[in-house]
Amino acid sequence: MAVNLSKGGRIDLQKTVPNLKRVRVGISWNENKFNTGGAYDIDVSAFGLVHNAAGEAKLKSEEYFVFYNQLATPNKEIVHSGDNRTGTGSGDDETLTIDVAAAMSVLDEISFVITIHDAITKKQNFGQIQSARVNVYNDEDGSLIAQYNLEETFSNETALQLGSLYKNPEGHIAFKAVGQGFNVGLAEFVQGYGGQVA
């Protein structure tokens, strides 16, 4: 049975699923039926991070920023399903698949972020989006390991850090539900993690 996480909750994925090889993180959302913000283009990104001596999480390199224009890391440790511009229909809108051993041999953490494309220009925010959810699966058999439903109201935020995969003190891959809102765009997230904006 899948574990339902709340904000700040954590789960040791490799203890829950011994010999876990691949994780699939699915993200879904729906537009609020009463919104007046026009068409929404929500983008899912993954940041492959390493921790420096001060414990700060920084992008390993530009090649470990996975988003709609760069759908995989160099050795396909992280693979993006591609851009879904509508969020319509049931099920996950966008997914990221992670090769556990390969990813965690070079990374300390993978942060999952969603942003609204051109949010400032279109005067859009996550208060106009509902039912945002993160599903974490065993990609080998498709079984759902954990789920995080964002219950908070993000009335002004234009970006959300949904959660992170990380190495816990036992060296296992674990998932943390973050649910933190920010009033920034994707470029500011890249800069915040020490990357460069093209």
What CATH number should be reported for the domain holding residue 155? 2.60.60.30
- Report pLDDT for 50: 94
- pLDDT category at 90 given cuts 50, 70, 90 is low
Asked if 104 and 113 touch (Cβ cutoff 8 Å), the reply is no
Q: Burial letters for 156-189: b for 16+ Cβ neighbours within 10 Å, e otherwise? A: ebbbbbbbbbbbbeeebbbbbbbbebbebbbeeb
Residue 198 lies in a domain: no
Residue 20 lies in a domain: yes
Overall average pLDDT of the 173-184 stretch: 92
Overall average pLDDT of the 118-141 stretch: 86
Overall average pLDDT of the 143-152 stretch: 90
Residue 155 DSSP code: S
Overall average pLDDT of the 95-101 stretch: 95
Q: How many domains does the chain have?
A: 1
pLDDT tens string 31-88: 765 555 567 788 899 999 999 888 889 999 999 999 999 999 999 999 998 866 554 5
**Residue 77 burial class via C-beta count within 10 angstroms: exposed 0-12, middle 13-18, buried 19 and up:** buried
CA–CA dist 129, 159 (Å, integer)? 11
Domain that includes residue 175, residue range: 3-192
